[in-house]
Amino acid sequence: MDHEDVVSLTGLNTICRYQELTKIADKSLQNYAARTRELFGPVAKSFDDDKNAEWLIRSYLALKFVLASTVLGTSANHADNENLKITLPYLNYYTMLNCTRAFIFTLPCVEWKDEKSIEMTHQNIINTAGDKLRRVDGSIALAIKSRLLIGQKQRELFSYRFPATGLSVFKDDLIKVEEAIETARFLAELAQFNLSCLEAAVRKHTELSFKVGGQDNLWDLMRYNTKTQELIDDDDYHRVGYFVRKYRYPSELVSLGTHGLLEDFFGAWVSEDENSQGYNPDEDWNLLLDFQ
């Protein structure tokens, strides 16, 4: 199956060059698409301003987690090339975990519980993903859950114990950067696929456009509470305000990720030293999703 065939399964007329989803058995992906579109049917038929707000929150968070994983993944590539091995367990694990969250946020069969959904524990995230991925393929679900659990333990070992032999302690079980990126890309593409199915379903059932209702919950997109501070992110505030004005119905991730949004997000990680030869966050915006 090529990427155009994958796109056609969503029912949305769009352009997205999928990589990992083209590798799935045709029948498995066809069944997943049919079930996902079926589950989105009732959502689309009863769509209103409050649902529009919910799916804006879910979609914006999913987009940011994919972009965060892109920064982490390109950082892992740089660290691997520059012998910054100590960072790899952390970078590999969170490259995968963030895209796992993006996948879960875009599932029609996972109820949205506001802050509780955002604050899911790592174990809950991994277990939920392992369960829901079985709808794609049982062996893929087992492989990804296993890789996430291994990545979690490798990250924890070098946060709390620190074996003297370094990463060699894992021998052949060490998760490689390319494996983490491949896993993250697969999950990011599923998130994109899911939202394409939702957008197609809403457009099919209504020609209406919607406002963003229930705006108090939008603070979850820009407010970050720590034990010592409550932080409001200016860029998030600006972007959320833009979407409140412009977001009229659900949108796939690659359309939400406008050039300006991507430029600002990755630009936050650019070195202040203009002559720096170090990590370049602009090196590959499309590492995980085809933003074109």
For residue 10, give the nearest of 208, 262, 276, 251 by alpha carbon: 251
In a domain, 289, yes or no: no
Distance CA 63, CA 243 (A): 13
In a domain, 181, yes or no: yes
In a domain, 59, yes or no: yes
Average pLDDT, the chain: 94
In a domain, 287, yes or no: no
pLDDT of 237 = 94
pLDDT of 211 = 92
Distance CA 154, CA 170 (A): 8
Mean pLDDT on 131-156: 97
In a domain, 291, yes or no: no
Helix (H, G, I), strand (E, B) or coil at 225: strand
Distance CA 103, CA 195 (A): 10
In the chain, the number of structural domains is 1
Two tokens, residue 93: 């694990």
pLDDT of 275 = 67
pLDDT tens for each residue of 188-214? 999 999 999 999 999 998 888 899 987
User: Binning pLDDT at 50, 70 and 90, where does residue 174 land?
Assistant: very high
Tell me which residue has tokens 């305000």.
241
Q: Would residue 83 be called left, alpha or beta, if left means φ above 0 and alpha means ψ between -120 and 50 degrees?
A: left
Tell me the residue range of the domain where 136 lies: 3-267
pLDDT of 272 = 83
In a domain, 252, yes or no: yes
pLDDT tens for each residue of 77-118? 999 999 999 999 999 999 999 999 999 999 999 999 999 999
Two tokens, residue 106: 């875009």
The number of beta carbons lying within 10 Å of the beta carbon of residue 54 is 19
List % helix, strand, coil for the chain (3-state, nearest 5). 65, 0, 30
In a domain, 282, yes or no: no
In a domain, 29, yes or no: yes
